Structure 1
Amino acid sequence: MTSEELYPTSRLAAVQEAAARAGVDAVLLTPGPDLRYVTGYRALPLERLTCLAVPTSGEPFLVVPRLELPAAESSPAARLGIEFVPWDETDDPYALVARRLGNPARVALSDRMWAMAVLRFRAAMPGAEQTLAGTVLRELRMRKSPAEVAALREAGAAIDAVHARVPEFLRPGRTEREVGRDIADAIIASGHETVDFVIVASGPNGASPHHDLSDRVIQPGDPVVVDIGGQMPSGYCSDSTRTYCVGEPPAEFAAYYEVLQAAQDAACRAVKPGVPCEAVDAAAREIIAEAGYGERFVHRTGHGIGLEVHEEPYIVAGNDEPLAPGFAFSVEPGIYLPGAHGARIEDIVICTEDGAERVNDRPRELVIVPA
C-alpha cells in the first residue's frame, strides 16, 4: 500500500465534518497517532509546538517550529495543500494558533497532548471549553480502510515470522533478558521499524500478564509466555502472543491450556458485524469460567489496534458498541496461576462483512521446545 492510500487527503474534510457533528469549533492535533492519522506526518514530540489546527469552518493550517519546517514540507502533510505556519524562537505559538482561530467556544485537543501544551492553550484561549479529540476521531479511526487492513496484515505476517524463530532462542539456562534481546533483534530484522514491547515470562513470571524481562534463568519444564509487537514503517502496529514450554509441561498447565485454546477460538468465531464488543469478551470468559478458572482471567479479552497498539474498540464487558466491518482488535484471553505459571493466546482480528479474519497464522497449540 502507498502513503497516499494509507493517509488520504480526504481525512481533513472528514475531520471537519466529524468536528461539526460533535459541536466542536476546532480540532488541535499535536505530534502523536492522531496527527499522523490525519496527515501522515510523523512529527517529533518536542517542547516546541507542532500543531495541526482544523477549524470546523475555515482552512486548516499546520503550525511548526521554523527548524522543523523542512521535515514537515518533506512529509506526507505536504500533499494536503494546507498552509504551513512557521514560528521563531521568540514567538508564542499558542497565541499564534489562538489568533488565527478567532474566539472558539469549544476546542478538541489530542488525547495524548502534553499537559504543558494543554495548559498553554487554556491560557491562550481562556474562553474555550477543552474536550478530547478522541471523541471526534474515534469513529474514523476505528473503521480501518482497505489500505489500513493491508498494513495490519503486513504487520501480522512480520510478527508471525518472529514467533517462528522463538524456539531458536528459548533454551534452558538462558535468561529471559537474553531471549528478549534476540527477539528484539528479530523484530527489526522482520521489517519492523521499532520494537514496542517484548514480554518473555517464564515459569511463575507467566502469571503476571504484563511481565517484562528479568534475569530469571529458564528451567526445563517452564511454560513461557511470549508477547511481542512493534511498529512497521507504515505506522501500523503488530501484537501477538504465543505460549511455549521448554520440555514437557506440568499436567495442570497442559489441562488449562486446552481450555484457553478453546476460549480464544470461540471468541474469534463470535466476531461478526453487529455483535457487541462485550459479546466477544463473554464468548471467551464463559468457557474459562465453566472450567473453573474464571477468577484467573484477570483482564479484558482485547483492544483495538492500528497506529497505536492499544486503541478503540475495547473488547470488554460493558462495551455494547456493535462491531462493524473494518474494526481491528486483539483477541487474547489468558489464564494466570500466581506463583506457578500462566498462558495467553493472542491474534489480531479484523471484522469483515460476514465474520472475521485473523492476521496472525502461527499455530495456537502449545509449542513444545526441546529442553
Structure 2
Amino acid sequence: MESLSSEEIQSRIKSLQSYIRKEGMDGCLIMQNVDLFYFSGTIQKAYLFIPSEDDPILLVQKDFERAKNESPIKNIVHLERPRLLSQVLKKHRAHRRLGLEFDVLPVNVFNQIQKILPESEFFDISKGIKQIRMIKSPYEIELLRHSAKILDEVFEYAKKVIKPEMTEIDVESILIQFGRKRGHQGITRMRAWNQDMVNASVLSGKSGTVLTHLDVSVIGPGISPAFPQGSSFNKIEKNVPIQIDFSIAYMGYITDGTRTYAIGSLPEKLKNAYQVGLELRNEMERIAKPGLLCSEIYFICSKIVKKRGLEDYFIGTKKDQAPFVGHGIGLEIDELPLLARGFSQPLQPGMVFAFEPKFIFPEIGVVALEDDYVVTEIGVERLTNVEDGIIYI
C-alpha cells in the first residue's frame, strides 16, 4: 500500500505554517478526515497539531499502529484521552491562538475543544486549508492522471454494457464494479454540509430532469426519499439521452466526468445543444490560462449559450439553474476553484477542475459532457480523453 512521502507532507505543512504566521496564530488543530489525510498521510482517528514554527505532532486515538505505518510525520504519539491535548500544546507554548476547521467542525466537538483548552482563542483555518489544497503538487497531478485514465476506461466500457430494458441501477452497478477492480475507492467525498454524493449516476431520459436538494445541476431521482439522488430502477429507453456521470477516486484523488449515450437517435434540438456544449468546452480550452478570472469563464459561456438561444436549459431548468460551469477536484469533489458567478480568483498553475456544460430539457432528458483539466503555465491540459460526440450504441 503506497504511502505519502515525507517531502510531500513537509511541503504541505510548510505552506500551512506560512499561512498560520501570516494570520497571527500560534498553530492549528486538524481533525477533519480529508484534511488530516492531506497533512499527515493517514485518516486514522487523530488530532494533528501544527505549530507556527516547530515540527507537527500527530496525536492518535485509534488506530495507533496503523497511523505510525501510514504517516511520515516523525512525532506520533498515542493519545489516551482528548483532555491530554492541553498538556501537549502548553508544552510547545502554542495554545493561545489556535486555528480550527470552522467550516466542517461540529459544534459539540468545538465545545469539547473549548473545555479542554479554556485559555485558547480560536480562529478559522479552513480558508487557508482550501487555498493550499487548491494548488496541486506534481505528485497529486500524477494521481489525478491515473484516476482520469480509469475514468476513460469506464466510459469506453459503458458502450458494451448499455442495453435496452436494463435498469439504470443495473448499468451503474456493472460500471462501479469495473472501476473498483481498477483501484477506485468506491466513494466520492464532498466537503459541503449535508451534501452526500453518489459516485455514479446513470440517467435515462426523464430521470435526468428530476431535481433534488443538492447544489448540482443534474442528479437523478435515486431509489428512495432516504437518498434522493442518482440512478433509479427506471429502464434504459431507446431514442432518449442516457447521461452517465461518473467519478473515480484513486488513492483518494477524484476525477469527475460525464458523457451522453443513446440507443437509436435523438431529437435535433438535443443534438444541437450537445454541439453547443462542445463549443463551450473548446472556447474554454482556448481562453483559459493563468491570470484569467474564474468567473469570466462562466460569463463567457453564458453569453454563448444565450446567443444560441439555450439559456433556459443551461446548467439546470429555467427555474433552478446552477450559477457555475465547473468546480475544483482533488481529495474532495467540491474543491476550489469554482468556475462560477462571484468567484473572481484568477486561474493559477496547479489548479485542477472539472468543466461541465450541461443542458436539461424538461420531460425529455439531459445532454452533457464533462472533462477534467489541470492549469499549466500557458493554458490548460485535459486529463480525461473520451470521445467527444454523443456515443451511439
TM-score when normalising by structure 1: 0.90
Deviates more, 1:24-33 or 1:224-233: 24-33
**1:50-92 CA distance string (max 9 Å, x none):** 1101121444211111x511011111x2x2222x231226x63
Structure 1 residues 315, 129: CA separation in 2 closer, same or farther (over 3 Å shift)?
Answer: farther
Q: Is the 8 A contact 1:5 1:147 kept in 2?
A: no
Shift of 1:4: 1.8
SS across alignment from 2:139: helix
Shift of 1:3: 2.9
SS across alignment from 2:254: coil
Residue in 1 aligned with 2:83?
A: 92
Residue in 2 aligned with 1:47?
A: none
SS across alignment from 1:239: strand
Shift of 1:121: 1.2
Residue in 2 aligned with 1:276?
A: 293
Residue in 2 aligned with 1:210?
A: 219
**1:160-218 CA distance string (max 9 Å, x none):** 11000111221110111111111111111232222431111110122240220111111
Determine whether 1:70 maps to 2:65.
Answer: yes
Shift of 1:96: 4.9
Structure 2 Cα separation of the partners of residues 130 and 225 of structure 1? 45
Which residue type is aligned with residue 278 of structure 1? S
Q: Please, which runs of 5 or more residues in structure 1 have no aligned partner?
A: 45-49
Residue in 1 aligned with 2:215?
A: none
Determine whether 1:231 maps to 2:249.
Answer: yes
Determine whether 1:292 maps to 2:309.
Answer: yes
Residue in 2 aligned with 1:222?
A: 240
Aligned CA-pair RMSD: 2.2
Structure 2 Cα separation of the partners of residues 223 and 5 of structure 1? 47
Shift of 1:102: 5.5
Determine whether 1:165 maps to 2:157.
Answer: yes
Structure 2 Cα separation of the partners of residues 359 and 41 of structure 1? 27
Which residue type is aligned with residue 136 of structure 1? G
Q: Is the 8 A contact 2:57 2:73 kept in 1?
A: no
SS across alignment from 1:237: strand
Which residue type is aligned with residue 349 of structure 1? Y
Determine whether 1:332 maps to 2:356.
Answer: yes
Q: Is the 8 A contact 1:34 1:110 kept in 2?
A: no
Q: How much identity, in percent, do the aligned residues show?
A: 25
SS across alignment from 2:277: helix
Which residue type is aligned with residue 73 of structure 1? K
SS across alignment from 2:128: helix
Residues paired across the two proteins, number: 358
Q: Is the 8 A contact 2:56 2:73 kept in 1?
A: no
Deviates more, 1:301-310 or 1:256-265: 256-265
Residue in 1 aligned with 2:97?
A: 105
Which residue type is aligned with residue 68 of structure 1? D
SS across alignment from 1:72: helix
Which residue type is aligned with residue 218 of structure 1? I
Residue in 2 aligned with 1:149?
A: 141
Shift of 1:333: 1.4
Deviates more, 1:132-141 or 1:293-302: 132-141
Q: Is the 8 A contact 1:159 1:190 kept in 2?
A: no
Which residue type is aligned with residue 66 of structure 2? A
Shift of 1:269: 2.4
Counting only pairs closer than 5 Å after superposition, residues 295-306 of structure 1 correspond to structure 2 as 295-297=312-314, 298-299=321-322, 300-306=324-330
Shift of 1:310: 1.4
Structure 1 Cα separation of the partners of residues 118 and 80 of structure 2? 24
Large movers: runs of 4+ above 6 Å? none
SS across alignment from 2:253: coil
Shift of 1:43: 2.2
Structure 2 Cα separation of the partners of residues 193 and 203 of structure 1? 29
TM-score when normalising by structure 2: 0.85
Residue in 1 aligned with 2:52?
A: 56
Structure 1 Cα separation of the partners of residues 32 and 295 of structure 2? 32
Counting only pairs closer than 5 Å after superposition, residues 16-31 of structure 1 correspond to structure 2 as 16-31=17-32
Shift of 1:355: 0.7
**1:132-158 CA distance string (max 9 Å, x none):** 322222332111111111111111111
Q: Is the 8 A contact 1:6 1:148 kept in 2?
A: no
